[in-house]
């Protein structure tokens, strides 16, 4: 999915940037590198139609006391061009196809106004992650070697391997206060993993109006794909 080889003559390829983003996610969320996977998820089989898969750059799960959440990310190295609206819409479509709870777009440059609008509409988190070193010095073609080099640099360098800025929070990694204009009934609570959860108050039901069964927060959760079992939640589909 979304593979981009060398760009702008900088000698940085998608594997190198993707591994840097894997390091970023594992560090910020509090996971091991092995828990941030790269997977190919089969699309739901439809009679008479060919099968295909969704290649996911970065795939990880987070768990709290009551549920497990599936997260996916698209890591896009760019020399100068910003991520455009169509790329965010594609990510949203893949998110729906595999029943992921949250999707992140990570890039090295930035996002167009159209990309930001689409992300705000669909709840896609936008993050800018830039290396603080010459990524072209990393090994090429061997992800294990790339991660080994990143770990060595992290142990030797005095600062972080990357700089990070949140363009659209969605499910932000940083611990900023609630944005201006947020509703009084909502609160942002830091999570032990380094990210935040937003808790919204639920208005009381009016006795004069017919009752309506709705999920708290106004949204449903759907199960995700398990790379080990070949099954996907939400629809009860099991692959053989």
Average pLDDT of the residues in 13-36: 94
Considering the chain, what is the average pLDDT of its residues?
76
SS3 78: coil
Residue 211 has pLDDT above 80, yes or no: no
| Residue 190 CB partners (closer than 8 Å, separation 6+) | 175, 196
Q: How far apart are CA 240 and CA 228, in angstroms?
A: 13
Estimate the share of the chain in helix, then strand, then coil, as percent rounded to the nearest 5: 25, 25, 50
Q: For the residues of 168-190, what is the DSSP string, one character each? A: E-SS-SS-PPPPTT--TTEEEEE
Give pLDDT tens digits for 215-228: 434 444 444 445 55
Give pLDDT tens digits for 68-108: 999 999 999 998 999 999 999 999 999 999 999 999 999 99
pLDDT at 213: 46
| Residue 73 CB partners (closer than 8 Å, separation 6+) | 21, 25, 57, 58, 59, 103, 104, 105, 106
Domain ranges of the chain: 14-174
Closest CA to 15 of 35, 38, 32, 33: 38
Q: For the residues of 103-135, what is the DSSP string, one character each? A: EEEEESS-B-HHHHHHHHHHT-EEEEEEESS-G
Q: For the residues of 202-218, what is the DSSP string, one character each? A: PPPPPTTS------TTS
Give pLDDT tens digits for 153-173: 988 877 789 999 999 987 545
Q: How confident is the model at residue 110 (pLDDT cuts 50, 70, 90)?
A: very high
Average pLDDT of the residues in 21-34: 94
Q: How far apart are CA 237 and CA 232, in angstroms?
A: 6
Phi and psi at residue 222, to the nearest 5° = -125, 150
Q: How far apart are CA 59 and CA 74, in angstroms?
A: 9
pLDDT at 11: 60
Q: Is 0.75 surpassed by the pTM of this model?
A: no
pLDDT at 232: 47
**CB–CB of 135/16 below 8 Å?**
yes
Percent of the chain with pLDDT over 70: 66
Architecture of domain 14-174: 3-Layer(aba) Sandwich (3.40)
């Amino acid at each position: 999915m979304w593979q981009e080889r060398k760009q702008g003559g900088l000698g940085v390829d998608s594997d190198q940037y993707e591994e840097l983003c894997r390091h970023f996610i594992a560090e910020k969320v509090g996971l091991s590198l092995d828990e941030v996977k790269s997977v190919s998820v089969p699309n739901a089989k439809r009679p008479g139609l060919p099968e295909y898969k969704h290649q996911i750059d970065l795939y990880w799960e987070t768990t709290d006391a009551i549920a497990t959440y599936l997260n996916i990310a698209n890591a896009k190295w760019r020399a100068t061009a910003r991520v455009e609206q169509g790329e965010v819409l594609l990510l949203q479509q893949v998110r729906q196809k595999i029943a992921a709870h949250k999707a992140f777009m990570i890039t090295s440059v930035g996002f167009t106004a159209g990309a930001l609008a689409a992300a705000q509409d669909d709840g896609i988190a936008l993050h800018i992650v830039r290396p603080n070193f010459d990524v072209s010095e990393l090994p090429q073609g061997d992800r294990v070697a790339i991660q080994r080099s990143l770990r060595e640099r992290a142990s030797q360098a005095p600062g972080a391997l990357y700089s990070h800025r949140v363009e659209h929070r969605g499910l932000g990694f940083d611990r900023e206060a609630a944005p201006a204009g947020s509703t009084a009934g909502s609160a942002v609570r830091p999570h032990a993993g380094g990210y935040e959860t937003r808790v919204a108050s639920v208005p009381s039901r009016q006795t004069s109006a017919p009752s309506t069964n709705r999920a708290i927060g106004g949204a449903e959760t759907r199960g995700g794909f398990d790379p080990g079992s070949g099954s996907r939640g939400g629809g009860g589909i099991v692959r053989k």
